[in-house]
Amino acid sequence: MARAATRYVCQNCGASYPKWSGKCDACGEWNTLVEEQVAESAPKGLGKTPGRRIEFVALSGVSKEAPRRLSHIQEFDRVCGGGLVNGSALLIGGDPGIGKSTLLLQVTACLAQETRCAYISGEEAVEQVRMRAARLGLVNAPVELASATNVRDIVASLDHADGPRVAVIDSIQTMYIDTLDSAPGTVAQVRATAAELIRVAKRRGITLLIVGHVTKDGQIAGPRVLEHMVDTVLYFEGERGHQFRILRAVKNRFGPSDEIGVFEMGEDGLVEVTNPSELFLADRRGDITGTAVFAGIEGTRPVLVEVQALVAPSPLGTPRRAVVGWDSSRLAMVLAVLEARCGVAIGANDVYLSVAGGLKVTEPAADLAVAAALVSSLTGEPVPADAVVFGEIGLSGEVRPVSQTDQRLKEAAKLGFGRVLMPAPRRSRGGAGEDTLRRVELDHLNDLLPLFQTDSPPPRRGKD
């Protein structure tokens, strides 16, 4: 007699085990294994049915460029790589309440002016979506709205030649296939429903926008396999207390994958922010110690943000390090270089670092701005209010050139900054900002310190 086959699947990472255990060995989460029935096992090998021969072609052929559909919400179109590609699947992840449904309703309302768009909500009733549409002033947009969760019905509604060209599934965790025993939101359901929906989207050339919830540690809930199944993964992020939201492409088969779009959540929905630097610097007060303006690049665009640091004597044996919006191991490196290569006694202090406004900076070019903010906080001498800073720091303390210098300088000049602390270029070449910005070129991190020297020695209250 055949054994009833079951397996235990981790609801966090999708790993499967023949036996139950309290902890998932793959991702380390506790109590995430759930029993699932294994579908009838596939026949071993290929069997007797012969396959068709594949036609091979040369690399040099002419392929049509994928046609793009523009929503005319520029921040959204740019993050998608210049518009939505027909027959592609996008996953939009984000914390609950961050504004995914709002964004997609606004996008479909714009797209619906030119093409048929369906918005299928599994989380909210039709009335709730209508109420949101009324609040956004979109009631007259010809979006086709439905509240449904059974994938069999959804596929039947999408799978015909004159069906909608764009479909939103809000959210994948509420959808289910009735032939599977598992509950909606489990790995098995999420994987199977996404596969069915993507299959019909590819066959009919439908652009599929799938909403996915994010777990507390930032993964798209359920399986990571979902990220492999779709063409594009976008994360919608932002701090709850802040009004603005950042849409970030983390994977894109049809465009650059590090692009961001910036929006502001207001009374009537999301508004595009076409000049993010102005927004990130809006609350800035000049001449405060411990802050530096970093001239960064996000995707294809320069973005200026303020880096804030607080260095305070620590009452603890192991001083605290708290970082928001930057990599904490990178902070540890900058602190170690300051201490070991420049003789700055900083290690015994508590260090708090934050990127103002909630942006997450990942570029190594922010090193120098962080170092400037730290030294400024330690010495009590502000970074000049009209200065921007960028540059990567190496382990020996050398300040290294970074890419896209001209773009950074241009943006700084545009926003009225007067000088720049930057790496000495390898070869001197004229930059766009040369006429307007006074350049302070640094070779080594040691060159930064004289800029913060006061006449009286700074109070050093560390354990030195």
Least Å distance, CB 234 to ligand TYD, is 12
Kindly tell me which of 24 and 79 has the beta carbon lying closer to ligand TYD.
79
Q: Which two structure tokens, joined as six digits, stand for 368?
A: 């120098």
Kindly tell me which of 265 and 281 has the beta carbon lying closer to ligand TYD.
265
Asked if 271 is part of the footprint of ligand TYD (rule: CB under 6 A), the reply reads no
φ/ψ bin of 14: left (φ > 0), alpha (ψ from -120 to 50), beta (otherwise): left
C-alpha torsion sign, points 430, 432, 434, 439: negative
Say if CB 259 and CB 300 are below 8 A apart: yes
Q: How far is CA 235 from the centre of its chain?
A: 5
Asked if 96 is part of the footprint of ligand TYD (rule: CB under 6 A), the reply reads yes
Asked if 414 is part of the footprint of ligand TYD (rule: CB under 6 A), the reply reads no
Q: How far is CA 391 from the centre of its chain?
A: 23
Kindly tell me which of 10 and 143 has the beta carbon lying closer to Mg ion.
143
* Of the candidates 191, 178, 188, the residue with the CA atom closest to the CA atom of residue 37: 188
DSSP labels, 416-429: T--EEEEEPPSS--
Distances in whole angstroms, Cα of residue 330 to Cα of each of 117, 217, 272: 45, 20, 31
Q: Which of 14, 83, 99, 296 binds ligand TYD (CB under 6 A)?
A: 99
Q: Which of 11, 71, 101, 207 binds ligand TYD (CB under 6 A)?
A: 101
Applying CB under 5 A, which part among 95-103, 197-205, 213-221, 436-444 lies near Mg ion? 95-103
Half-sphere exposure of 435 (CA within 13 A, CB side): 2
Q: Which of 11, 12, 71, 101 binds Mg ion (CB under 5 A)?
A: 101
Asked if 69 is part of the footprint of ligand TYD (rule: CB under 6 A), the reply reads no
Asked if 93 is part of the footprint of ligand TYD (rule: CB under 6 A), the reply reads no
d(CA 409, CA 354): 23
Kindly tell me which of 88 and 101 has the beta carbon lying closer to Mg ion.
101
Asked if 268 is part of the footprint of ligand TYD (rule: CB under 6 A), the reply reads yes
d(CA 184, CA 175): 6
The answer for residues whose C-beta is within 8 angstroms of residue 43's C-beta and 6 or more apart is none
Percent of the chain that is helix, strand, coil (3-state, to 5) = 25, 25, 45
Kindly tell me which of 245 and 410 has the beta carbon lying closer to Mg ion.
245
Asked if 122 is part of the footprint of ligand TYD (rule: CB under 6 A), the reply reads no
Kindly tell me which of 103 and 337 has the beta carbon lying closer to ligand TYD.
103
Hey, how many other C-beta atoms are within 10 angstroms of the C-beta on 345?
14
Q: Which of 269, 391, 397, 423 binds ligand TYD (CB under 6 A)?
A: 269
Q: Which of 26, 38, 195, 265 binds ligand TYD (CB under 6 A)?
A: 265
Say if CB 244 and CB 264 are below 8 A apart: yes
Question: Which amino acid would we find at residue 148?
Answer: A
69 binds, among Mg ion, ligand TYD, none (CB under 5 to 8 A by kind): none
Q: How far is CA 195 from the centre of its chain?
A: 24
φ/ψ bin of 105: left (φ > 0), alpha (ψ from -120 to 50), beta (otherwise): alpha
99 binds, among Mg ion, ligand TYD, none (CB under 5 to 8 A by kind): ligand TYD
Q: Which of 130, 132, 242, 341 binds ligand TYD (CB under 6 A)?
A: 132
Q: Which of 14, 81, 83, 94 binds ligand TYD (CB under 6 A)?
A: 94
Kindly tell me which of 147 and 407 has the beta carbon lying closer to ligand TYD.
147
Q: Which of 12, 71, 88, 102 binds ligand TYD (CB under 6 A)?
A: 102
269 binds, among Mg ion, ligand TYD, none (CB under 5 to 8 A by kind): ligand TYD
Kindly tell me which of 170 and 306 has the beta carbon lying closer to ligand TYD.
170
d(CA 216, CA 154): 29
Applying CB under 5 A, which part among 11-19, 82-90, 93-101, 370-378 lies near Mg ion? 93-101
Least Å distance, CB 53 to ligand TYD, is 47
The answer for residues whose C-beta is within 8 angstroms of residue 463's C-beta and 6 or more apart is 348
How many residues line the site for ligand TYD (CB under 6 A)?
15
Strand segments, DSSP code E, in 203-282 are: 207-213, 232-237, 244-252, 260-266, 269-272
Applying CB under 6 A, which part among 224-232, 267-275, 351-359, 430-438 lies near ligand TYD? 267-275
Applying CB under 6 A, which part among 8-16, 95-103, 141-149, 189-197 lies near ligand TYD? 95-103
As separate numbers, helices (DSSP H) first and strands (DSSP E) second, the chain gives 10, 23
Interface positions with ligand TYD (CB under 6 A):
94, 96-102, 132, 135-136, 265, 267-269
Interface positions with Mg ion (CB under 5 A):
101
